[in-house]
Structure 1
Amino acid sequence: MNQESAMSGQQVATILCVDDEPHVLSSLKLHLQRSYRVLTATSGADGVRLLRAHPEIAVVMSDMRMPGMDGATFLHAARSLAPDTPRLLLTGHADIDSAVAAVNDGQIFRFLLKPCPPATVAAAFAAALRQRQLIDTERALLEQTLTGAIRTLSDVLAMARPAAFGSSVRIKQLALELAARLRPGPWWALEVAAMLLPLGSVALPTEVADRLHDGHAPNAAEREMLDRLPGITENMLAAIPRLEPVRAMLAGVAGKPSGHAEVAALADDETIRLGVAILRVALDFDALDLQGIPVNAARASLHALPGRYNADVLAALDVVRADTQSHGGVREVSPSALRVGMVIASDVRLVSGVLLVARGFTVTPGLIEHIRNLRSGALADPFRVYLEAPADAEA
């Protein structure tokens, strides 16, 4: 961190410069290190490795002419690895045609002609960093808005059709726990995908949803229905902009390429692939859990199918579901004692046999109001909620 930024408490942005000539990199670092943390690579392959190792890189600049992987090819790879990171291309007059092609193919933010004065390079990096900050701000706002809206929708659906949608709360919780063990976040697309996975359940007959929720193993026809649900959900979301990463995860879980080009293009993204692997494990573990299979036996069942599941995700599952108890215990509470944020430990039904709320649901103001409006004696089951796990158990 440079001295001025250290004194002001500001975080210094990390940038990456790629050029096969060490003296060019030394010059760039000399002029830029007062304002940025500068990483350098002498080849496109090394640049790719640095991008993988340093997701905090905010701006990338590459020379056009390099042996092996040239600048255009490298920046195209950089676009796939870090699509929100602005890319600068440094080129000579003889490379103009190639530079134009690189701009079109790699969506270059700006290209600079050699020889390029240090002030021009510095201005280009400053403009690119402002662009990155705008992208990050827009994404944060979008993610918060989308996640909040979808969380509300998920809660409403879980109350309206708890047998079909109650699983989304449990699957989301397990998916985020697995993700936290495997890679730092943010994991907003995974969270949204987990919440929306059951959306296709509107296509399930009510009696099928009830049977599955009650722990019955699906028959062949029901298994086919379940396998189609992620694809149905992906198609239902097609009209909503900016959900391409979510839809790509859902398409991956369905095991079929998306019919939408902008979504299919994300299929090989590392984060998308890991999200798909996490969702597969979370979905199937929850299904086994619903059938009453003990935790250790459920984990063993998944380990017995190594070709279907990602080994790293299974290892994470062994940690986050190491015990039969993932909470500090269970206690029974009266309806009037329910509080927002409590987690329901077991299904609650009405005397008519209708499922009121599924286990795993987090109590919301809407649920409390719904219970308050029930007639006296309408509940067939008591409310059991999880206690908070002890601090040392969580650690």
Structure 2
Amino acid sequence: MKPKVLFVDDEPEVLSSFLSILKIHYDISTSDNPVEAVSIVKNNGPFSVVVSDYRMPKMNGVELLSEIMKIEKNTTRILLTGYSDFQAIVQAINNGNIYRYLTKPIVIEQLINNIDDGIRQFNLLKSEKELLEKTLKGSVKLLMDILSVSNTKSFVRVSRVKNIVKRLASKLNYEPLWEVEIAVMLSEIGLVGVPFDIVDKKERRLPLTPEEIKIYNNHPKIGSELIKNIPRLENIARVIEYQSVSNFTDFDPSELESNKALMLSEIITVAKIYDKISDAGLSHLDAIDYLNKRKNFSPHIIKLLEIEFGEQDISRSASIESVFIEDLKEDMILAEDIVDNFGMILYAKGKELSDMIILRIKSMAKNRKIIQPIKVIRYKENY
């Protein structure tokens, strides 16, 4: 498959010339309108390389390539320009918006060499991105597995709370949304560094000594330290550390709005308190009233929670069901251990099921007898 290259120039005859000469080397698209070019990149990308003229109506080449960078960061951007535009080009390069610029009149061999360099750059960045994403997913999965084994109650709790947080964060236009679920699921990962007896007392709502309270309350710091060096989780590490904040109203409202990590941490904290109250059997209005009386959270977040969930009781949005292996679904959570007829635990209580785990369970069932039905926690999909 030929690499995809987009040429943008307001002179159609120039585009025709590029197309006729270069179509043997690349999968060429052309546009004589920079606004249209943005749409082409959005709808037909990603392109390995975009080559644009500088002087065009409506939008110059630097502006166009800056817009393209917002859509597809890895696309290599090359600018064609005359000597009179030198200062503008230098500024664009310094801002990181342009990979290379070529002066007119252009020598075709030089253009081909630079496009080929751009394609190699695109492929390199793409490979690095794929490797990073695989590393990220593997790291997050490992941490979640550790939490599910070491503290089942915590894992089940954050699995339940994530649905509340995702909805509130979406309504508050939090971006990127992929951070939200990971931040919730890892929000209590620091508990792996807290002695089990202290965590157990906290879960059973037994009184803690002042020293135990100090140790327990340090778990956001521990969690942040655990993940801050994982690529792309730096902001999530800050979200986790902000959970140590006792009063979010101490911050200026503008900071709460501009500091994304602080905002998401507040949403998670509010959602956990709301879930805890609902899980104790109190009503939606009781939970909202309690949050308002504490006066340490942003009123607009509590109001949004009140509006979004109405009178529904979040604790009742989850149900425990008994299902057979063929009926297991992704995102169900095991309410009991999966064991075989010899009593060997195959998957522990609290494990959130993925397609891969379900596939493994079905594969195991072919070679050994697994005790069925299996109790699982299932959540309604409407929140």
Same fold (TM over 0.5): yes
Q: 2:73 aligns with which of 73, 83, 86?
A: 83
Query: Which residue in 1 is equivalent to 2:98?
Result: 108
Q: Output the TM-score relative to the length of structure 1.
A: 0.54
- Go from structure 1 to structure 2 and tell me whether the alpha carbon gap of 1:246 and 1:70 turns closer, same or farther (over 3 Å shift): farther
Q: Deviations over 1:169-214 (max 9, x none)?
A: 445566667789999x996555544443323334556566446545
The structure number with the bigger radius of gyration is 2
Query: Which residue in 2 is equivalent to 1:237?
Result: 227
Q: Deviations over 1:44-96 (max 9, x none)?
A: xx99x869976955455555568999755775676566533322233322444
- Go from structure 1 to structure 2 and tell me whether the alpha carbon gap of 1:325 and 1:163 turns closer, same or farther (over 3 Å shift): closer
Query: Which residue in 2 is equivalent to 1:147?
Result: 137
Query: Which residue in 1 is equivalent to 2:376?
Result: 385
Query: Which residue in 2 is equivalent to 1:201?
Result: 191
Distance in 1 between residues matched to 2:212 and 2:56, nearest whole Å: 56
Q: 2:272 aligns with which of 264, 273, 286?
A: 286
SS at match of 1:90: strand
- Offset of residue 301 of structure 1: 6.8
Query: Which residue in 2 is equivalent to 1:5?
Result: none
SS at match of 1:36: strand
Which aligned pairs between 1:43-192 and structure 2 lie closer than 5 A?
Answer: 56=45, 58=47, 59-64=49-54, 79=69, 82-96=72-86, 98-106=88-96, 108-116=98-106, 124=114, 128-129=118-119, 131-171=121-161, 189-192=179-182
- Go from structure 1 to structure 2 and tell me whether the alpha carbon gap of 1:300 and 1:307 turns closer, same or farther (over 3 Å shift): closer
Count of residue pairs brought into register by the alignment: 332
Distance in 2 between residues matched to 1:213 and 1:228, nearest whole Å: 16
- Offset of residue 106 of structure 1: 0.5
Equivalent pair of 1:230/1:254 in contact (CA under 8 Å): yes
Identical-residue share of aligned pairs (%): 21
Q: Output the TM-score relative to the length of structure 2.
A: 0.56
Query: Which residue in 2 is equivalent to 1:41?
Result: 34
Distance in 2 between residues matched to 1:144 and 1:212, nearest whole Å: 35
- Go from structure 1 to structure 2 and tell me whether the alpha carbon gap of 1:325 and 1:80 turns closer, same or farther (over 3 Å shift): same
Equivalent pair of 1:296/1:324 in contact (CA under 8 Å): no
The residue identity in structure 2 corresponding to 1:246 is L
- Go from structure 1 to structure 2 and tell me whether the alpha carbon gap of 1:88 and 1:357 turns closer, same or farther (over 3 Å shift): same
SS at match of 2:80: strand
SS at match of 1:106: coil
The residue identity in structure 1 corresponding to 2:271 is F
Distance in 2 between residues matched to 1:150 and 1:68, nearest whole Å: 45
The residue identity in structure 2 corresponding to 1:290 is K
Equivalent pair of 2:152/2:350 in contact (CA under 8 Å): no
Q: Deviations over 1:288-336 (max 9, x none)?
A: 213326684488579976666499x9699659x8976546x423589x9
The alignment's C-alpha RMSD in Å is 6.2
Equivalent pair of 2:53/2:61 in contact (CA under 8 Å): yes
Which aligned pairs between 1:225-374 and structure 2 lie closer than 5 A?
Answer: 232-240=222-230, 243=231, 245-252=232-239, 254=241, 273=260, 280-291=266-277, 292=279, 296-297=284-285, 309=301, 318=309, 326=317, 329-331=319-321, 343-344=332-333, 361-362=352-353
Equivalent pair of 1:147/1:192 in contact (CA under 8 Å): no
Give the gaps of 5 or more residues in structure 2.
Answer: 244-254, 338-346, 362-373
SS at match of 1:88: strand
